[in-house]
Amino acid sequence: MMPIATGTPLDILRTYRAAMVTTVSDNDQMVLSQDALDADTLPETDWARQYFWVTEEALRCIAKAMVLGEKTTFRRILDLPCGHGRVLRGLRAAFPAAEITACDIDRDGVDFCARTFGARPVYGDADPDRIDLGDARFDLIYCGSLLTHLDQDLFRRFLRMMSRHLARDGLLVFTTHGRWCITFHRTVLPFTDPVAWQAIEAGYRDCGFGYRDYAATPGYGVSLTSIGWVQQAIDADPSLTTIGIAEKGLGNYQDVFVCQKWPIDDIYGPMHPKTRPAIYRGRTEVDGPPAVERGPRRSGGFAPELHAGPDAPAPAAMPPAAPDRPLRGWLRRLLGGA
């Protein structure tokens, strides 16, 4: 009997810390914005806890995505946008052998990630079609807090660009501002000024997508998206299959979407039993189906032949399966047939 593997991707949440580099850049926008928000009221230990908590929350999303996509590791990873490595440092610790590409419009952040975490540097651009990733294909693309700041056109274009660079069977994990962010804006921290927010929320109520630029940064602002609108954007690419949606999935704040690079109309899909990694195999796949013990028939239940009476004709036999149709045979086994 083959043993079923017991390790899971969730183990990275318990092991990554020992290998994680904790050096933080003085130019890290996440540090500077935190300082601006908290002024001098937040002790350094609490600030560090908040900063690295986001690292862990992103890894938690990725670990869950790995389970949904039945993954065990990644060879090539793209972190877009990487910033100064708040998430990338966790990716490097969790997947030490992976080739990680750091991409951001902030060139200082890209250089820091290359220098500190050994990432491959790629400078970003406001136009996704001008980002030079070559012919690279990634097993994982993590896109945290980017689409949350783009209008409808750029949202769709970045989604298409990431799909183009996703390897077959690869995972795309990205975040959005969902319906919870309406409450967040009103009760926790405003995203923007009241006039802009009124327009954002009106767009959200009207079509599922609201957006306004920040006053100081044309082309970059705040978006608010419904799950339905995002799914429609995904539906436009038949090479992507949505395998997970989690409202407030990132840090009890942003919504998380998980897509797999596998055509939605491919009947086999990436999780066919023949290609499933060992840790995801159940007993039936490892040992075969259990022996069936048949007892005497009794009345009751839902089988119609048990209620038909002694003079009723025997039910018609199922037609034999065509041996030259392996797909039908696989479907019968999946559904419990002979």
Supply the DSSP string of 83-96, one letter for each residue: TTSTTHHHHHHH-T
Q: What is the pLDDT of residue 8?
A: 83
- With a pLDDT cut of 70, the percent of the chain lying above it is 78
Judge if the upstream peptide bond of residue 190 is cis by omega within 30 degrees of 0.
Answer: no
Structural domains of the chain, with CATH = 9-178+226-261 (3.40.50.150)
Mean pLDDT check: name the lowest of 86-90, 149-153, 178-182, 284-288: 284-288
Examine the pLDDT at 6 and tell me if it is beyond 50: no
Strand 254-261 and strand 166-176: pairing? Answer: antiparallel
Q: What is the pLDDT of residue 32?
A: 67
The whole-model pTM stands at 0.83
Examine the pLDDT at 316 and tell me if it is beyond 60: no
- Pick the closest to residue 222 from 143, 127, 145, 124 (CA basis): 145
Q: Which two tokens stand for residue 179?
A: 């319906």
What CA–CA distance (Å, rounded) separates 224 from 179?
Answer: 8
Handedness of CA 177, 179, 180, 182 (dihedral sign): positive
Examine the pLDDT at 318 and tell me if it is beyond 60: no
Burial class of residue 112 in the structure, from the number of CB atoms within 10 Å of its CB (0-12 exposed, 13-18 middle, 19+ buried): buried
What CA–CA distance (Å, rounded) separates 90 from 109?
Answer: 16
Q: What is the pLDDT of residue 48?
A: 84
Examine the pLDDT at 173 and tell me if it is beyond 80: yes
Q: Over the stretch 21-61, which tens digit does the pLDDT of each residue have?
A: 999 999 998 876 654 444 444 455 677 888 999 999 999 99
What CA–CA distance (Å, rounded) separates 16 from 90?
Answer: 7
Q: Are 249 and 176 in contact (CB under 8 A)?
A: no
**Helices 194-207 and 180-187: crossing angle, nearest 10°?**
160
* Residues 6 or more apart in contact with residue 137 via CB below 8 angstroms: 76, 165, 166, 167, 168, 170
Q: Are 137 and 166 in contact (CB under 8 A)?
A: yes
Strand 209-214 and strand 217-225: pairing? Answer: antiparallel
Strand 76-79 and strand 99-104: pairing? Answer: parallel
* The amino acid at 79: D
Highest mean pLDDT (candidates 270-274, 279-283, 323-327)? 279-283
Stated as kind and residue range, the H or E segment containing 125 is none
Q: Are 315 and 305 in contact (CB under 8 A)?
A: yes
What CA–CA distance (Å, rounded) separates 182 from 214?
Answer: 17
Mean pLDDT check: name the lowest of 2-11, 15-24, 268-277, 327-336: 327-336
Whole-number average pLDDT of the chain: 86
pLDDT band at 253 (very low <50, low <70, confident <90, very high): very high
Examine the pLDDT at 106 and tell me if it is beyond 80: yes
DSSP state of 25: -
What CA–CA distance (Å, rounded) separates 262 from 269?
Answer: 7
Q: Are 180 and 266 in contact (CB under 8 A)?
A: no
Q: What is the pLDDT of residue 214?
A: 96
Handedness of CA 267, 273, 276, 282 (dihedral sign): positive
- Pick the closest to residue 69 from 160, 3, 141 (CA basis): 141
Judge if the upstream peptide bond of residue 238 is cis by omega within 30 degrees of 0.
Answer: no
Examine the pLDDT at 201 and tell me if it is beyond 50: yes
Stated as kind and residue range, the H or E segment containing 22 is none
Q: What is the pLDDT of residue 307?
A: 43
